[in-house]
Homo-oligomer: A and B are copies of this chain.
């Protein structure tokens, strides 16, 4: 929608949205209809109105604080790369278990030792975390994040985490090797079907 606004458009049809995101116009309309009756028959959806409604429904209109746990190469790259985030998310802290790493890392974002995790998350009201620690450490980290009251976690460790609803934490696992396996499974099975 922001792309279309940039082109000077003020309204958009389900068809146009569908083409942008490679989804049928039916599905676009059906999904939007769960939020409410937002469109205008004949001319489509007013972009500003649609953005507002989606934002309210999904909680995207408020700024949320996030942190990075594990400051290896990957963690540091994420910590320092503000372009990775849209404007309502702000990385406000980094954590690592190595004091040495914390003292030597050059960055304008404050970094803390891992044992302060729960405390700082609670005090600063941090809601989201990206974790890039080695697999064996991730279970311990998630416990401390939950203790601090974190709400969502993006997990880059190779050990998938399954936070329960009871814990009130949602986890999104991402594993590059897993994606590679998935992709190679797709094209391997394609070949098996075609001979």
Interface residues of A (CB under 8 A from B): 21-22, 57-60, 64, 66, 72-74, 76-78, 80-81, 83-86, 89, 127-128, 130, 134, 151-154, 158, 160, 162, 168, 170, 172, 174, 176-177, 179-190, 192
Q: How far is the CB of A24 from chain B (nearest CB, A)?
A: 13
User: Which of A81, A152, A162: most chain B Cβ within 10 A?
Assistant: A152
Q: Given A76-B77, A134-B83: A174 and B184 within 8 A (CB)?
A: no
Q: How many copies does the complex hold?
A: 2
Residue of B nearest to A156 (CB): B84
Q: Is the CB of A64 within 8 A of B189?
A: no
When the two chains form the complex, which single residue of B168, B176, B184 contacts A58, counting CB atoms closer than 8 Å? B184
Residue of B nearest to A58 (CB): B185
When the two chains form the complex, which single residue of B72, B80, B84, B152 contacts A186, counting CB atoms closer than 8 Å? B152
Q: How far is the CB of A85 from chain B (nearest CB, A)?
A: 5
Q: Which residues of B contact A188 (CB under 8 A)?
A: 57-59
Q: Which residues of B contact A186 (CB under 8 A)?
A: 152, 170
Q: Is the CB of A170 within 8 A of B154?
A: no
When the two chains form the complex, which single residue of B76, B127, B128, B187 contacts A170, counting CB atoms closer than 8 Å? B187
**Measured CA separation A154–B84 after assembly (Å):** 15
Residue of B nearest to A54 (CB): B185
**Measured CA separation A188–B192 after assembly (Å):** 43
Q: How far is the CB of A105 from chain B (nearest CB, A)?
A: 13
**Measured CA separation A182–B21 after assembly (Å):** 16
Task: List the 4 shortest-distance A-B pairs measured between CB atoms, nearest first.
Answer: A59-B188, A152-B183, A58-B185, A73-B77
Residue of B nearest to A56 (CB): B188
Q: Is the CB of A58 within 8 A of B172?
A: no
**Measured CA separation A176–B154 after assembly (Å):** 8
Q: Is the CB of B58 within 8 A of A180?
A: no
**Measured CA separation A56–B58 after assembly (Å):** 42
